[in-house]
Amino acid sequence: MDELSFEHLVDSYYESLYRFALSLTRREADACDMTQQTFYRWATKGGQLRDKSKVKSWLFTTLHREFLAGRRHEVRFPHLEISGVEEELTPTQPSVANKMDGDSLMQALYQIDDLYRAPLVLFYLENHSYREIADTLDLPAGTVMSRLSRGKQMLRQAMSQNVEPGKIVPLDSTKAKGAS
Amino acid sequence: MNTQEAKFILQAYRPGGEDAGDPQFAEALAQAKLDPELAKWFAEQLAFDAAATRAIKEVKAPQHLRDSILAGRRVIEPKIWSRQPVVWAMAAAILILLGIAGFWVKSRRDWTQFASYRAEMTRAAEAHGKHVELESPDPAKIHAWLANQEVDPNYVLPARLSGAAAMGCRVVNWDGHKAYMICYWMQGTNHMDLFVAEKRDFKGAFPGDKPQFATTEGRATASWSYDAKVYLLVGQGPVDEKFLRQHLEPQGVAGVQSGQEWVSACQSLIQFRAGSQNTQNLAGNFF
């Protein structure tokens, strides 16, 4: 890949990758590092990708693998079925959506377990479909739907808490417990 | 599909409508059109998702990130070995050195074959119970006898060797090939055995047209090639390298000659080699 096309690729995806990395790591420095590392991987190994239409998927998959590789503890990924989330499909409060901005959204996302945060962020980034999310995270499509459903519920709850006037939410203590 | 199942599926529906054609959502979308409560819930979901999509894009990457990535690319680039002239030059140098080394190794192996031939022929000249199979000084007879042995008898000699008296010849097998030996009486107790082999029988290197001198099995030897043949001259008795050099002048070659005067002397020498006579006087008569 020549310099111009590489630059074009960076311009197309670096911000989305950064947002995804930030949602995973919660630290700007780590997110920058992971984004840079992803493009480094592309520069050194991206030529092996034969189907160039899958560049976006390749980049996000690589970033997610970098994140997983960097974690010290192995995380189990439970496969939630619909029966386990039915009762959580509660209505959305319109006021929450109206008051949403980038900072409040990220703060709410930080309170969600990694398990649900990754598909959720991909869903809101670059219009990833549930199938693309499944490819990126190497998950069954049904599992992606489960996590999107439950993740959105968690996000709404977190947003509702965060928008209450005067409420301070310490991130560590309010981090949602993922299913295990 | 009940309402809860429809909600479950519609949670994965993107707010921009990109999934409208996905059959996975068709039934749930159809149900949302028929169920006002579900439709309201779905509309609120889409509004929330659209707000979240907008909000997440408000998060900006640090200013330096893009430049860092592009700068990193330029650091990575020089490491791509295939684009580095220096690396190519080093690779070419290594290939050349490997080629030279391979040629050197091959040459050594090939010379080993010739050295083996030279040693084997030198021993053959010594070990044979009967030195020659055809006892004759007559080049014509030698020529005819060799032809009958299915070897090419058309050998040529250096000019000064052409005056030497042949005593006879025999065929020698080596490494699955045939060579032949012609014994020449020279002077006093000196005689030399000339081995003639075909170039094509040597897989590797053999001497060129300039004689190579060596001591093999304690004997002075000289070897050279001419046309299609490889010659090996093995000195017998007191014949040393100096003696060989005196009889291997580089200029010209000549066909085998014979003289009636040599005949008796050579025949006597052959008898001497069988142990029946002293050759000192015979040699004096001949040279």
pLDDT for B272: 33
Taking contacts as CB-CB distances below 8 angstroms, the residues of chain B near A148 are 11-12
Q: ipTM value of the model?
A: 0.72
User: In angstroms, what is the C-alpha Rg of chain A?
Assistant: 17
Residues 1-30 of A with CB under 8 A from B: 3, 6-7, 10-11, 14-15, 18-19, 22, 28
Query: Would you kindly state where each structural domain of chain B is located, as residue ranges?
Result: 3-56, 102-286
- Could B8 and A32 be called an inter-chain contact, meaning their C-beta atoms sit closer than 8 Å? no
| Residue given tokens 């014979």 in the structure block | B258
Q: Is the pTM of this model over 0.80?
A: no
- Among the residue ranges A99-108, A157-166, B269-278, the one predicted with the least confidence is B269-278
Q: Given pLDDT bands bounded at 50, 70 and 90, which one contains residue A158?
A: confident
Q: Is B154 helix (H, G, I), strand (E, B) or coil?
A: coil
Q: Are B52 and A129 a contacting pair at CB < 8 A?
A: no
Using CA coordinates, name the residue in chain A closest to B69: A36
Distance from CA of B23 to the nearest CA of A (A): 13
A3-70 carries CATH number 1.10.8: no
Distance between CA B17 and CA A179 in Å, rounded?
30
Topology match between the domains A3-70 and A84-165? no
97-156 of A, contacting B, C-beta below 8 A: 97-98, 100-106, 121, 123-125, 127, 129-130, 144-146, 148-149, 152, 155-156
Count residue pairs from A and B with Cβ separation < 8 A: 132
The CB density around residue A131, as the number of other CB atoms within 10 Å, is 15
Distance between CA atoms of residues B50 and B149, nearest Å: 102
Count how many Cα atoms sit within 13 Å of the Cα of residue A171 in the half-sphere of its side chain: 12
Nearest to B138 by CA among B236, B235, B283, B256: B256
Average pLDDT, chain B: 78
Decide: B196 and B164 in contact? Cβ < 8 Å: no
pLDDT of residue A12 exceeding 70: yes
Q: How far apart are CA A143 and CA A22, in angstroms?
A: 23
Task: Name the E strands within chain B.
Answer: 134-135, 157-158, 165-174, 177-187, 190-198, 212-216, 219-226, 229-236, 253-254
Burial pattern B85-98, b for ≥16 Cβ within 10 A else e, equals eeeeeeeeeeeeee
Q: Do B57 and A86 touch (CB under 8 A)?
A: no
Please check whether residue A115 is in contact with residue B65, taking contact to mean a CB–CB distance below 8 angstroms: no
Q: Which two tokens stand for residue B217?
A: 């099995």
In angstroms, rounded to a whole number, what is the distance separating the alpha carbons of residues A97 and B50? 9
- Whether residue A55 lies within 8 A of chain B, CB to CB, comes out as no
Could you tell me the end-to-end alpha-carbon distance of chain A, in angstroms, rounded to an integer?
43
- What is the residue-level pLDDT of chain B in tens, covering all 287 positions? 788 888 888 989 888 778 888 888 888 899 888 899 999 999 988 888 888 888 888 888 888 888 888 887 766 555 555 556 777 888 889 999 998 888 777 666 678 889 999 999 998 888 657 788 898 888 889 999 999 998 999 888 877 777 778 889 999 999 899 999 999 887 677 788 999 999 999 988 889 888 889 998 888 999 999 889 999 999 887 888 888 887 775 543 333 333 343 333 333 333 333 333 333 333 322 22
Q: What is the pLDDT of residues B235-275, one digit of tens each?
A: 887 888 888 887 775 543 333 333 343 333 333 333 333 33
Q: Find the CB nearest B59 among A22, A127, A149.
A: A22
CB contact under 8 A, A92 and B44: yes
Determine, for residues B58 and A101 on separate chains, whether the beta-carbon distance falls below 8 Å: yes
Measured in residues, chain A has a length of: 180
The two tokens of residue B192 are 């030399």
B160 residue type, one letter: R
Taking domain A84-165, whether its CATH number is 1.10.287.3510 is answered by no
**To 5 degrees, how large is the angle CA A29–CA A35–CA A39?**
145
The pLDDT of residue A153 is 87
